[in-house]
Structure 1
């Protein structure tokens, strides 16, 4: 029985801590926005405690940045409160310098942040020019690739031709080409009986 009561007490403490954390949790909506210049936006800050008069807004260049500057109210930027949705930040006539991450701070609790991106204005003629430039670059890259492949193939062919020329077989020459047989008296073969003399006799040319 005691263990059962202890278990109930533990569950009660856990539920109370979760409820307390939920009450102290600060949320923002929306979490990200992509806007055009000269438009307006609303960023809401919400907590279950609903403190209406103790909300401060900050801006940073990126998420988790330690350098957060407090937003000063002006003609374009105002911190307002909606009766149903709670405090919110209103920015009118958005500019490029309004890009960044916006945080609300409520009862020393920071909100998760809302990223705001303002797209740069682009005219139709500028967009058409950029498209044409991209197409031209793609065609140029294709031509350069084709020329590079052709140069490589020609280089390999030239190397193969030089290699074949080094191992070219010589022409087949007749073994007796250039050999001339002297004739004596007009006949192809002379009788050798004239030169076949007995030992001691004089040769006819002596």
Structure 2
């Protein structure tokens, strides 16, 4: 009879474990490095029978690069501690000093059931003075680049103007050709137009070169 009752209790506990649902808090953490962080693993149903709460439940923690990525089990080491929370052994994981490499998705597993996961995103702490110095350096480089660009444009325009002036100075205006240049007419001691009749040949007179 005792074996029958034990079997019935075992089947009941198996049924309850199947319906067991796990939640995690918080679901997302984003912050700077060198801070502390705790992730809690909880039963999502508060109205479960007391038999479930009295069970020796132990959480196992896993880490993945993304939600659907491959999970790797996490063991307690320096900077990562496991503590009991509520009725769950290792019910929360505590980071004493969050670093960049701690970024990822963390899952707790209780009795074969995984929690929904908590994403951790850690970013480096920014030095305000260093950021201001970099901003000033960037502004200075932008101003220097602008001045260099203006100087290059001015040099190109100046060179172009000098070339045009040099070309204009080397250009000589061609002399005007006269249709009568080289034509010499003897005046024969008389006016040019008045004595033209003296050079006119009469009809029938042959030219010397004929």
TM-score, length-normalised on structure 2? 0.58
Question: Does residue 1:64 correspond to 2:77, yes or no?
Answer: no
Question: Does residue 1:29 correspond to 2:25, yes or no?
Answer: yes
* Per-residue Cα deviation, 1:99-154 (whole angstroms, up to 9, x for no partner): 22211123333323222223323434432332222222332454466567x38x95
The aligned runs of 1:116-131 (5 Å cut-off) are 116-131=120-135
CA distance in 1, matches of 2:116, 2:59: 14
Q: CA deviation at 1:79?
A: 2.4
Q: CA deviation at 1:198?
A: 5.3
Contact 2:57/2:87 (8 A) holds in 1: no
Contact 1:44/1:85 (8 A) holds in 2: no
Q: CA deviation at 1:43?
A: 0.9
TM-score, length-normalised on structure 1? 0.59
Structure-2 residue corresponding to 1:78? 81
The aligned runs of 1:63-142 (5 Å cut-off) are 63-66=67-70, 68-83=71-86, 87-142=91-146
Question: Does residue 1:41 correspond to 2:37, yes or no?
Answer: yes
Distance 1:103 1:194, change over 3 A: closer
Partner SS state of residue 54, structure 1: strand
Structure-1 residue corresponding to 2:7? none
* Per-residue Cα deviation, 1:171-202 (whole angstroms, up to 9, x for no partner): 89576474645232252223324543353689
Q: Which runs of 5+ in 1 are unaligned?
A: 1-19
Q: Which runs of 5+ in 2 are unaligned?
A: 1-15
How many residues of Structure 1 are paired with residues of Structure 2 in the alignment? 169
Q: CA deviation at 1:31?
A: 2.0
Structure-2 residue corresponding to 1:14? none
